């Protein structure tokens, strides 16, 4: 059995679909999980979904993924803009890392324009709504089938 892909979500993403729907849309994280799990299955991939509002939990899951996962899809939410600790945890991983932002962070407030994670990410998907997670699953399938 091949290793799963960890899909790790940061603070406030538990409120997806309810919080600022004009920015983040109406789909919940549960909807995203179901759609992505189906898509992943078509590509012989298994996903494990995580969400936490606590920085240390996100780091613990990234460290767990180093052994347990084949890759990480991560939306670190507001920690993208602040957390060197999450960047360091991702840098300790040798498999593909894809970063997702539901909104186009470059069209928003200046403090959202820079993500520390992008220095490590193998790909960054921004501004595609919750479909960004599906695009990340497709990209992950391609990277893994190419042996990277």
Catalytic residues: 24, 101
Q: Which stretch binds ligand DQA (CB under 6 A): 34-42, 62-70, 89-97, 98-106?
A: 98-106
Q: Which of 39, 70, 78, 124 binds ligand DQA (CB under 6 A)?
A: 78
Helices and strands of the chain, counted as H and E runs:
5, 5
CA dihedral (55, 60, 64, 70) in degrees, to 10, reads 10
Please tell me whether residue 24 adopts helix, strand or coil conformation: helix
CB of 88 to ligand DQA, least distance (A): 19
User: Could you say whether residue 51 binds ligand DQA (CB under 6 A)?
Assistant: no
Please tell me whether residue 11 adopts helix, strand or coil conformation: coil
User: Could you say whether residue 112 binds ligand DQA (CB under 6 A)?
Assistant: yes
User: Could you say whether residue 103 binds ligand DQA (CB under 6 A)?
Assistant: yes
123 CB-side CA count, 13 A: 19
Residues that bind ligand DQA (CB under 6 A): 12, 75, 77-78, 80, 101-103, 105, 112
């Amino acid at each position: 059995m091949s290793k799963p892909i960890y899909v790790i979500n940061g603070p406030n993403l538990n409120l997806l679909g309810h919080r600022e729907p004009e920015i983040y849309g109406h789909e919940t994280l549960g909807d995203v999980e179901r759609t992505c799990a189906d898509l992943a299955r078509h590509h012989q991939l298994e996903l494990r979904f995580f969400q936490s509002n606590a920085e240390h939990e996100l780091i613990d899951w990234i460290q767990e993924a180093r052994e347990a996962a084949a890759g990480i899809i991560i939306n670190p939410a507001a920690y993208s803009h602040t957390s060197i600790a999450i960047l360091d945890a991702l840098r300790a991983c040798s498999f593909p890392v894809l970063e997702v932002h539901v909104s186009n962070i470059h069209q928003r407030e200046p403090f959202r324009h820079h993500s520390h994670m992008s220095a490590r990410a193998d790909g960054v998907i921004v501004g595609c709504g919750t479909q960004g997670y599906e695009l990340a699953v497709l990209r992950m399938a391609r990277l893994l089938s190419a042996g990277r």
